[in-house]
Amino acid sequence: MSGTVRTRFAPSPTGFMHVGNLRSALYEYLIARVSGGQFVLRIEDTDQKRLVPGALEAIYETLEHCGLEHDEGPDIGGPYGPYVQSERLDRYRAEAEKLIASGHAYRCFCDSERLEELRRQQEGQSFQGYDRHCRDLDPDEAAARAAAGEPFVIRQRMPLEGQTEFVDAVYGTITVDNSELEDQILLKSDGFPTYNFANVVDDHDMQITHVVRGSEYLSSTPKYNLLYDAFGYEIPTYVHLPLILGEDGQKLSKRHGATGFTELVEAGYLPEAILNYLLLLGWSPGDTREIFSLAEMEQAFTISGLSRSPATFDYDKLLWFNQTWLRSEEPKQFARRCRGALEDALGRAATDTELELAGRMLQPRLERLTDIPAQLEWLRELPEDYDLGLFTHKKMKTDAASSRLMLERLRAGLAALESWTEAEIHTYLLAAAKEQAVKNGQVMWPLRIAISGRSVTPGGAVELATLLGREETLRRIDLSLARLAG
RNA sequence: GGCCCUAUGGUCAAGCGGUCAAGACGCCGCCCUCUCAAGGCGGAAUCGGGAGUUCGAUUCUCCCUAGGGUCACCA
């Protein structure tokens, strides 16, 4: 197919946005963008029973959130609309009629009871599927029965012999015996098309050049091609994608953890990190680059870099991407993310200096956005009953007794500081260590424990004291001193 | 079960007949250091098995095995 590349993302609004869908959307978007083509959004709502309220909104929001802008779609229109399948029913019906007329399809009056019975009988047999009961009905008679109001579906008349072959851009040439192909339903009795049929009609109507989808469609692709052939339409380039699996090797689903984009965002992951991780889950640039912004992806993406084997979704690696993206944010922007939790812990509004400091403390340590409150927990209050054993640290050469002496000296010095700035506190504490001829740790460690009650804090004693403020720092030292004395 | 696909460390993966088999996550160790991180350095860890083809197979072919997908009036 010549001309511009056109891809489409065609989700059905039947639930939340699964990361597998999002990855497909990303690849579809990139395949279009990398060659200056168009990316189309189409809504496949042909299964009226499975529609989920709000699912459509989730699709729009996710795409927007990720920056995957579409060029045509239900919300913005375009030259090939409508872009919602339930609004295209006439098209499918007309196309199906064309197929009946040309002998490539037929009306079938078998009801679900008969089909079910058929399935029961076929149990254990090699080829399971419709027995083509209505395939040879007289077309005129069938048309008459339909006209009389008898419910029917329209089925594709598959060739009984021969093979169908197609070339997939990632899997190569795939050949299937036509005898394996079922006379699949094209138009359901409710007048809605099946996915298989609507897809072919729409992809042709919308001039889609690259059909990108999960590899679960690989084995049904020959049926599509037979349809394209029956219509005389040009067959698009197929790009089938390897599946995403959970840690147990099964197709990724809910029970593996958060698998929806929104869920992940709520769990503290950045859209950039999610997208970046998804990009590399099934695609490789061929070199060692790993960090990609959307703009960089648009430059680097290649279909040939797509992998054929299924990939396991690894939350650890996703977490690493998240950390990496978090660290690369503008410090000011990152700090803004901390404001809410900081002020909450502080119990008052934060100054710019405090905000900057908090951001500086957290940015290199944060894994998820949702961890911010926990990282700031020490700021809230000094745990009344923290373990005094924390003062004992063999590497720092400190224990409760030495810490008590140290804290008494430091308290006086800190109280006397001219101003309470990070630099001044820092200078003073280092000077104190030097003056006493001890290692920095011997002054820093007791102080950290005394004012936070924790052995692990996001930052050192200096940062803690600075953020705490002089009054609160001294108060906590006194509290700790009292306990050490007791 | 039939058919289709896949197969490099625990995970993502590069490799496309000749390499000491990249890199990243995770893991371990060291350095740095007031803790934890971050950062730096180093380490352990991989070609599923068997036949071929070839001077030479991770790479090509076949078989086996394992895993996955698919066989709906779901997409």
- pLDDT for residue A126: 57
Distance in angstroms, CA of A277 to C1' of B12?
Answer: 9
For the entire predicted model, the pTM comes to: 0.95
Kindly report the number of other CB atoms within 10 A of residue A129's CB atom: 15
Judge whether residue A463 contacts strand B, using its CB and a 7 Å cut-off: yes
Q: How do strand A172-177 and strand A163-168 relate by DSSP bridges? A: antiparallel
CA of A209 to C1' of B18 (A): 41
Catalytic-residue membership of A254: yes
Order of strands, edge to edge, in the sheet holding A163-168? A38-41, A6-9, A210-214, A237-241, A163-168, A172-177
Give the model's pLDDT for residue A124.
63
The pLDDT of residue A125? 64
Low-confidence ranges of chain A (pLDDT < 70): 1-2, 124-128
CA-to-CA distance for A483 and A334, rounded, in angstroms?
38
Query: The tokens of A437 are what?
Result: 């001829």
Residue nearest to nucleotide B71 (CA to C1'): A128
Which of A 341-360 have CB under 7 A of nucleic chain B? none
Asked if residue A443 lies in contact with residue A433, where contact means CB atoms within 8 angstroms, the answer is: yes
Separation of alpha carbons A262 and A60, rounded Å: 12
pLDDT for position A1: 43
Quote the radius of gyration of chain A (alpha carbons, Å): 32
A290 CB neighbour count, 10 Å cutoff? 15
> Per CA to C1' distance, which residue is closest to B37?
A365
Catalytic residue among A98, A254, A397, A434: A254
CB A267 within 8 A of CB A370: yes
Which ipTM did the prediction report?
0.96
Q: Cβ of A113 < 7 Å from strand B?
A: no
